[in-house]
Structure 1
Amino acid sequence: MKKLIIPILSGVVLSCTNAPAQDLKFTETIKKEFVVSPSSVLAVYNIDGFIKVEGYDGNKVLIEVEKTISGKSNEIVEEGKQEFKLEFEQKADSLIAYIIEPFDSRPNRNRDRWNKNEYRKIQYRYNLNYTIKVPKSMNLVVSTINNGDISVVDVSGFMKVNNINGKITVKNAHKANEIRTINGDVNINYTTVPPDNAQYYTLNGNLNIVYPTNFSADCEFKTFQGDFYTDFEDVEKLPARVTKTISETDKGTTHKLSKGSIIRIGSGGKNLKFETFNGNIYIKKS
């Protein structure tokens, strides 16, 4: 396997810790099924626990959730049982599973409440472990934060997968186009060439991506303490590309320039982005 050493950009290390395990627990299993269009989107916004998704030849989304409420006393556990609420919301083109109480787990739903310091400290803890079956062509948006990995098997649709403290594994992917975690490895194998502008990121971990033997793309790499390896033979290093990012804040407009190394595999064409801080990048052929 070839090794190409890539100069890299620095970043900020983010680490999350978990409170000790509690003594008293209440556990129940929730089962749901929904008839969906094969091309619709399933979104799962978890906080604590794993997510496992498997594609199958059917027209239903089958969801099984193992819910655990824990605390230091029976009173605290009972409070959690009464207050905690998991919501399932279905529309014509989407199905969403999220926490609605004690706060909304959907992205950007609680920013104003955090800014106004309107959150009280809850004493109980909760954990949701999802096991899901979906139509193979379904699109996915799934995320979790603590105490769980994310795995997706045999799903050919587009997917956005986010984790914080756990790894991500995608098997037999077709259109996996945005895969990100902070503390963990990213492991993906594609059965077809991925879509243009697919992105892969981990802060503390390795990127392990397997492509078909006919893979051809321009791959932009950024890493700080790591190397790039590939067993593809037709590899060419291209001139670095400078990109400009513009963001608006309450202090004004910020312009940021970033520079990554570009490796052309095969005849190029599609643009893919790979980034890690503490870890290596492995691009392999199946």
Structure 2
Amino acid sequence: MKKLMIPILSGMVLSCTKVAAQEPIFIEKVQKEFIVSPKSVLAVYNIDGFIKVEGYDGNKVLIEVVKTISGKTNEIVEEGKKEFKLVFEQKPDSLIAYIAEPLDSRPNRNRGKWNNDHRKIQYNYTLNYTIKVPKSMNLEVSTINDGDIEVSDVSGLMKVDNINGKITVKNAQNANEIHTINGDVTINYTTLPPNNAKYYTLNGDLKISYPANFSADCEFESFQGDFFTDFENVEKLPAKVFKTTKEDSKGTTYKLSKGSTIRIGNGGKNLKFETFNGNIYIKKQS
């Protein structure tokens, strides 16, 4: 492999017992199913816990969630059981799963509440999702802590976000926006990726594999990492120059791009790869 050095709610109660540290814990399994149109969007906005999504030949979304609530006392756990609210909201073109209480897990819903609600939440809660969806469904899934995100055999567009965990996408076709902070991103495509796909991790590696006929202009940024590839037809392109609207006595202002651009094959599609502490690997599909 060549190395290019580039600075770049209903459910069944499973248990209500105590963990080793003698903290009370409540565990409940929630199962739901929804008939959906094949091209609709499934959005899952989680906070703590993993998300696993698998595509299959069917017209239903099958969701299983293992909900865990724990705290220092039985009273705290009971408070969590009463207050915690998981919502499934279906519309003609979408299905959304999110936490409504104690805090809304949907994007940009808690700007005031996070800052102004001084009541400390005493209990801890975790949701672990295992989901089956029609293969052509589009996805928008996210979690924050204590869980990885895994997606397999889904051909639709997908936006996947994590913070403290890795992201793995298997047999992708249109994975177009994959982002985590602390963890690796690993994707294998069965077809050529969509134009303007973006891959990002702050602390981790990007490991992306494409079919042998892969051809694209790939923009790379990595502060403490290198770029590796086993594709043979590779060339480094000149830095991109962008014209701004600012003009003064010194003339028109132009801005150079921050990253380096590599053309693989004949180029064509534009893809962006960015990491801070990690390497970038682009490999042929084995």
> TM (normalized to structure 2)?
0.89
In structure 2, the partner of 1:181 is 180
Q: Match of 1:178, as an amino acid? A: E
Change in Cα spacing, 1:202 to 1:111, as seen in structure 2 (3 Å) is same
Per-residue CA distance 1:218-245 (angstroms, 9 max, x = gap) = 0000001100000000001001125699
Change in Cα spacing, 1:231 to 1:142, as seen in structure 2 (3 Å) is same
In structure 1, the partner of 2:123 is 124
Q: For 2:100 and 2:92, how far apart are their aligned partners in 1?
A: 21
- CA offset at residue 113 of structure 1? 2.5
Q: Match of 1:215, as an amino acid? A: F
Q: For 1:244 and 1:73, how far apart are their aligned partners in 2?
A: 62
The Cα RMSD (Å) is 1.6
Contact 1:196 1:271 in 2 (8 A): yes
Q: What does residue range 1-286 of structure 1 map to in structure 2 within 5 Å? A: 1-8=1-8, 23-115=23-115, 117-242=116-241, 258-286=257-285
Q: Match of 2:82, as an amino acid? A: Q
Q: Which SS does the other structure have where 2:113 is aligned?
A: helix
The gaps in structure 2 that reach 5 residues or longer are 9-20, 245-254
- CA offset at residue 23 of structure 1? 1.9
Q: For 2:217 and 2:102, how far apart are their aligned partners in 1?
A: 45
In structure 2, the partner of 1:252 is none
Contact 1:243 1:259 in 2 (8 A): no
Q: For 1:32 and 1:283, how far apart are their aligned partners in 2?
A: 38
Q: Answer with 1 or 2: which has the greater Rg.
A: 2
Q: Which SS does the other structure have where 1:121 is aligned?
A: coil
- CA offset at residue 114 of structure 1? 3.1
Contact 1:40 1:94 in 2 (8 A): yes
Q: Which SS does the other structure have where 2:100 is aligned?
A: strand
Q: Which SS does the other structure have where 2:158 is aligned?
A: strand
Q: For 1:144 and 1:36, how far apart are their aligned partners in 2?
A: 23
Q: Match of 1:95, as an amino acid? A: L
Per-residue CA distance 1:103-138 (angstroms, 9 max, x = gap) = 1000001112234x1242100000000000000000
Change in Cα spacing, 1:135 to 1:284, as seen in structure 2 (3 Å) is same
Contact 2:152 2:171 in 1 (8 A): yes
Per-residue CA distance 1:80-108 (angstroms, 9 max, x = gap) = 00000000000000000000000100000
Identity of aligned residues (%): 81
Q: For 2:180 and 2:102, how far apart are their aligned partners in 1?
A: 25
Per-residue CA distance 1:157-198 (angstroms, 9 max, x = gap) = 000000000000000000000000000000000000000000
Task: Figure out how many residues of one structure are paired with residues of the other and give that number.
Answer: 263
In structure 1, the partner of 2:248 is none
Contact 1:141 1:160 in 2 (8 A): yes
In structure 2, the partner of 1:250 is none
The gaps in structure 1 that reach 5 residues or longer are 9-20, 246-255
Q: For 1:199 and 1:187, how far apart are their aligned partners in 2?
A: 13
Q: Which SS does the other structure have where 1:76 is aligned?
A: helix
Q: Which SS does the other structure have where 2:117 is aligned?
A: coil
- CA offset at residue 24 of structure 1? 1.5
Q: For 1:71 and 1:46, how far apart are their aligned partners in 2?
A: 20
Q: Which SS does the other structure have where 1:236 is aligned?
A: strand
Q: Match of 2:187, as an amino acid? A: I
> TM (normalized to structure 1)?
0.89
Change in Cα spacing, 1:73 to 1:260, as seen in structure 2 (3 Å) is same
